[in-house]
Structure 1
Amino acid sequence: MHDTPGGWRRTAAGAGLLRADGSVASTIFAEMTALAMRTGAINLGQGFPDEDGPAEVLEAAREAISAGVNQYPPGLGILDLREAICEHQRRFYGLDVDPGTQTVVTTGATEALAAALLGLVDGPDDEVVVFEPYYDSYAACVALSGATLRTVPLRFPDFQPDLDELAAAVSDRTRVILLNNPHNPTGAVFERAVLDEIIRLAHAHNAIILSDEVYEHLTFGVPHTPVAALPGGWERTLTISSGGKTFRTTGWKIGWITGPAELVTAALTVKQFLTYVSGAPFQPAIAAGLRLPDAFFTGIADEMRRKKDMLGAGLRAAGLAVSEPRGSYFTVADAASLGAADADEFCRGPLAEAGVVAIPITAFVSPARRDEYRTLVRFAACKRVEVLDEAVARLATLAG
């Protein structure tokens, strides 16, 4: 077996992924959700909403089931959804995307990431550059691909990368620059200069940009700018998104990839052997969602902004230093301001005892960088207002 990034190792035969000690471990999200259920704590750890999505979207799924849309859809996804995705890209970003050759529907964004990496990476001589902290599936997917992971640190409180460190991480061995913007777990939205530098480096080193944009409609006071919409970006970029975060349907697992036909084909070549196709009756429902009026999309961003402001105020009142997020569901706080030396111990101890569950940022970093993020904690604001009110009241007990 061979050590891989993020504490994973890969069997020599490629049969599976194991933790470094040989065990199959649950994710931190499952652990913290179980802790919340066991103790009655409010779960601000795992990033799932506790409210249903828009009625029009839910009703479209019911209608599709009743109409018999319950068998395998086309491998690319139903045409109506692919057309809706392309309409969305044109409407919001001015991108002209072909639904026939430049779009594929996936089983959520996580499958899209796996298919793209497995389709683009040639083996151990390739490198994948990611921004750290990173969503935990990134390291696992890179390990499955056999590539080497290179990371660029994002530092509290603004979590913007240093451009010199970014340039140093990218080389002629870089096959993929994996971008997550808006960023999970930090809530950062990358500056235009960062996106321009990613494009420059991709051209200079013949690399592909894989851009995970699932929080594209959840930004606060700053617009979302797809890297594919910038000069020089389209021809080297696969863009990934999904309906889960935008329409509060995380359990439906409907995502998509858009980009140049040859890059989409590389991902599709692998995707067809993963899940083959994705939930048939949910596809017309997500198509309906993508065609909702502008007021819906501005409304969900405004609502999430109010919720993150509530949560941030509560965290500050509890004595925590807080990073101001510019997008996503998430807010990062530094438990060191309450004297904590380790975020994992803080989350399982004082925070859980106060009746709130969150995720230590060390769950999103490689072992070599744990000390740099040891006291940081991620909180999710994607809950009902009354739940956040109660969470803030419980957090107040941390202040003594």
Structure 2
Amino acid sequence: MSLDYQQYLSKTAIDLAPSGIRKFFDLAASMEGVISLGVGEPDFITPWNIRESSIEALKDGYTSYTANAGLLELRQEISAYLNRKFYVNYRPEDQVIVTVGASQSLDLAFRALLNQGDEVLIIEPAFVSYAALVTMAGGTPIRIAAKVENGFKVTPEQIEAAITDRTKAILLCSPNNPTGTYLNKDELMDIAKIVQKHDLLVVSDEIYAELTYDEEYTSIASIPGMYERTILINGFSKGFAMTGWRLGFLAAPSELVEVMIKIYQYTTMCAPHMLQRGAIEALRNSSEHVEKMQRSYRRRRNFIVQSLNNIGLDCHTPGGAFYVFPSIQKTGLSSDAFAEGLLLQEKVAVVPGNAFGDSGEGYIRCSYAASIEQLQEAMNRIGRFVESVGVKKSNVFDKVL
């Protein structure tokens, strides 16, 4: 007898849309000769000193559980790092949790905060998991469309207009995935005024904080009056090239951490012990490697922005992360049609902008976490494709910045 599994499944889970990123990544993986600008992952290998530290930890038998919140030694290093880099002070004993990736930190935050129907403001274009995580926690995502004419930065007026009596929090991601947009101190202060006026909390995804190129990074938790209203989320994936390690962390007032740690106890227990040892090494002795990677990304950013604009695809200069978000509207193609055509015709994988919300239609996300040589070839291929659909281009590759 064939079972009707629909009757057993959660309606919330059934209604979740599949990730638009994975769709094109999976298709690209099945083809030969593809240059992928689709996945948000550093092309650098984790620095050797970090890998060696975890290898030695494994040899030394560090294979047991740790405290739910993570090794105290690691939490102490995280606390020192946040103080040193972003001028915020969190007690390692009861205000920091080591998680299995920053994504789990987000999940813990929403599950701890949200009751059925509570609203969370999400600035789009936004990372694909945000709305899904809010929904799975019983909340309602309220999308605010950032405009390209504002550099994909939301205005205070837009935030104010979206707030209702059900609004509990606003989710910020700076630098942003997919646009690379960076919110500076003045812009964060404007947002902070609204948050305090309406008695809201902020879930601040700062996973790309190490990858800012033109200004010193500002955490909204460092803004006066915001420390007690912020759940700060970060991790090792992007800045330290440790994506596969799945190590993140969150820092927040102890009253919030106390509830999140209860959820963590029943779902995950703790992050892997030997990997936490590597994370200690990352925070203590890897700043030189991080700075080297950052310089390389900045050079690639400059190259890809210049190249895309020369091709005929309007592209603003992002302040951070390793993404650009060029407009493909001149081609007359939808985001899906452009991405599919580019993949099939020229074997370059990008992500359609509408994967990041309706406001992303007419754009594509390109990751420049690839070598300059790969980026040069990708720009040649994109240029040919754009020209084939009738958009004129200029001389693209006159220099590498």
Query: What is the TM-score when the length of structure 2 is the normalising length?
Result: 0.90
Q: Corresponding residue for 2:146? A: 154
Distance in 2 separating the partners of 1:131 and 1:389 = 32
Q: Corresponding residue for 2:121? A: 129
1:32 pairs with one of 12, 21, 24: 24
Matched residue SS, 1:141: helix
Distance in 1 separating the partners of 2:372 and 2:189 = 38
Distance in 2 separating the partners of 1:360 and 1:272 = 37
Give 1:293 deviation, angstroms: 5.7
Q: Corresponding residue for 1:42? A: 35
Residues 104 and 256, structure 1, Cα contact 8 Å, conserved in 2: yes
Pair 1:171 & 2:171 matched: no
Distance in 1 separating the partners of 2:148 and 2:76 = 40
Q: Corresponding residue for 1:189? A: 182
Tell me the amino acid that sits aligned with residue 132 of structure 2.
A
Give 1:27 deviation, angstroms: 2.1
Give 1:103 deviation, angstroms: 0.4
How many residues are matched?
380
Distance in 2 separating the partners of 1:312 and 1:11 = 49
Q: Percent identity at matched positions?
A: 29
Q: Corresponding residue for 2:205? A: 212
Distance in 2 separating the partners of 1:46 and 1:355 = 15
Pair 1:384 & 2:371 matched: yes
Cα RMSD between the aligned structures?
2.0
Matched residue SS, 2:285: coil
Pair 1:102 & 2:111 matched: no
Distance in 2 separating the partners of 1:179 and 1:399 = 33
Give 1:15 deviation, angstroms: 7.2
Q: Taking structure 1 as reference, are residues 26 and 167 closer, same or farther at Cα in structure 2, changes over 3 Å only?
A: closer
Report Cα offsets for 1:189-243 as digits up to 9, x if no partner: 0133331133222222221111000000001111210000111110111100010
Distance in 1 separating the partners of 2:159 and 2:377 = 41
Matched residue SS, 1:209: strand
Residues 51 and 384, structure 1, Cα contact 8 Å, conserved in 2: no
Runs of 4+ in 1 over 6 A off after TM superposition: 10-13
Q: Corresponding residue for 2:304? A: 311
Q: Corresponding residue for 1:243? A: 236
Q: Corresponding residue for 1:56? A: 49
Q: Corresponding residue for 1:393? A: 380
Pair 1:324 & 2:317 matched: yes
Q: Corresponding residue for 1:234? A: 227
Residues 77 and 105, structure 1, Cα contact 8 Å, conserved in 2: yes
Q: Corresponding residue for 2:332? A: 340
Residues 178 and 209, structure 1, Cα contact 8 Å, conserved in 2: yes
Q: Corresponding residue for 2:394? A: none
Report Cα offsets for 1:23-81 as digits up to 9, x if no partner: xx642222211222222321101111232021111111111111111222210101121
2:342 pairs with one of 336, 350, 357: 350
Tell me the amino acid that sits aligned with residue 186 of structure 1.
T
2:256 pairs with one of 263, 271, 276: 263
Tell me the amino acid that sits aligned with residue 83 of structure 1.
Q
Q: Corresponding residue for 1:292? A: 285
Distance in 1 separating the partners of 2:164 and 2:21 = 33
Q: Corresponding residue for 1:119? A: 112
Structure 2 residue runs without a partner (length 5+): 1-5, 388-401
2:276 pairs with one of 256, 277, 283: 283
Give 1:94 deviation, angstroms: 2.1
Distance in 1 separating the partners of 2:216 and 2:354 = 29
Tell me the amino acid that sits aligned with residue 377 of structure 2.
E
Query: What is the TM-score when the length of structure 1 is the normalising length?
Result: 0.90
Residues 177 and 208, structure 1, Cα contact 8 Å, conserved in 2: yes
Residues 309 and 315, structure 2, Cα contact 8 Å, conserved in 1: yes
